[in-house]
C-alpha cells in the first residue's frame, strides 16, 4: 500500500503538469456550488438530495454524478459537512480525473474517498484500483486494490506511466 501511495503521489509529476490538481493546491474553503435536475430537501434530517445530471464545483474541483446527498448543519446558515455521490462519479481538477462507482467528500476532514472500479488519470498516466483516498489538505493519496475478484483490479493496484523518449 505504501508503494501505491507513492505512485499516486508521483502521478502529477510524471506528466509534468504545472496546474493545480486535486492532489495539491485545492482551495478547501471555497464555496460549494451544486446544480441538478431535481432537489429534495429533507430539512428535519439536515440533508438535501440532488438527482439527475448533478454538477458540483468547489474552486477548481468538479464532481459529476447522477445522485448526490448533502449532509449539513443548519443554524444561521447552512454548514455542509459531507457529500455522498453515487451512480458513477467523476472528480476532476486541472489535468487530474478520478472515476469510480461511489464517492464521499468529508469537508471537515478534507478527504475524498472513491470506491468501486476507481481510475485515476493525469494525461496518459493511469492508476486502477478498488478504493482511492485523497487528502485535499496534504495532497497525499492512497490507492487500494481491494479483495481479489472484486472490480477489474484482481485485488491489486495497477498503473501505466508514460516514459519520455530517450536517445
pLDDT digit string, tens, across residues 19-54: 455 566 788 889 999 999 999 999 889 999 999 999
Residue 16 in this model has a pLDDT that exceeds 50: no
Domain tally, the chain: 1
- Let me know if residue 156 belongs to a domain: yes
- Let me know if residue 165 belongs to a domain: no
> pLDDT-based confidence at 77, cuts 50/70/90?
confident
Phi and psi at residue 146, in whole multiples of 5°? 85, 180
3-state secondary structure the chain: CHHHHHHHHHHHHHHCCCCCECCECCCCCCCEEEECCEEEEEHHHCEEEEEEEEEEEECCEEEEEEEEEEEEEECCCEEEEEEEEEEEEEEEECCEEEEEEEEEEECCCCEEEEEEEEEEEECCEEEEEEEEEEECCCCCEEEECCCCCCCCCCCCCEEECCCCCCC
pLDDT tens-place string over residues 117-136: 999 998 899 999 999 999 99
d(CA 53, CA 34): 10
- Let me know if residue 56 belongs to a domain: yes
Q: What pLDDT is attached to residue 42?
A: 92
> What's the whole-model pTM score?
0.81
- Let me know if residue 19 belongs to a domain: yes
pLDDT, mean of residues 134-141:
89
> How many residues make up the chain in this entry?
167
Q: What pLDDT is attached to residue 43?
A: 87
Residue appearing with cell numbers 451544486: 34
> pLDDT-based confidence at 147, cuts 50/70/90?
confident
- Let me know if residue 166 belongs to a domain: no
- Let me know if residue 103 belongs to a domain: yes
Domain of residue 27: give its range.
2-160
Q: What is the CATH number of the domain that holds 31?
A: 2.60.450.10
> pLDDT-based confidence at 94, cuts 50/70/90?
confident
- Let me know if residue 167 belongs to a domain: no
Phi and psi at residue 157, in whole multiples of 5°? -85, 135
Amino acid at each position: 500500500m505504501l508503494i501505491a501511495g507513492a505512485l499516486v503521489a508521483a502521478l502529477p509529476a510524471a506528466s509534468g503538469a504545472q496546474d493545480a490538481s486535486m492532489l495539491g493546491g485545492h482551495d478547501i474553503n471555497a464555496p460549494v456550488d451544486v446544480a441538478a435536475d431535481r432537489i429534495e430537501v429533507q430539512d428535519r434530517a439536515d440533508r438535501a438530495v440532488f438527482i439527475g445530471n448533478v454538477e458540483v464545483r468547489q474552486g477548481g474541483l468538479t464532481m459529476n454524478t447522477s445522485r448526490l446527498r448533502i449532509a449539513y448543519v443548519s443554524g444561521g446558515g447552512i454548514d455542509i459537512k459531507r457529500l455522498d455521490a453515487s451512480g458513477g462519479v467523476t472528480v476532476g481538477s486541472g489535468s487530474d480525473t478520478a472515476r469510480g462507482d461511489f464517492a464521499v467528500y468529508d469537508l471537515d476532514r478534507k478527504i475524498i474517498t472513491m470506491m468501486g472500479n476507481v481510475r485515476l488519470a493525469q494525461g496518459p498516466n493511469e492508476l486502477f484500483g478498488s478504493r482511492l483516498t485523497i487528502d485535499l489538505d496534504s495532497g497525499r493519496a492512497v490507492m487500494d486494490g481491494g479483495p481479489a475478484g472484486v472490480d477489474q483490479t484482481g485485488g491489486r493496484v495497477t498503473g501505466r506511466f508514460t516514459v519520455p523518449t530517450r536517445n
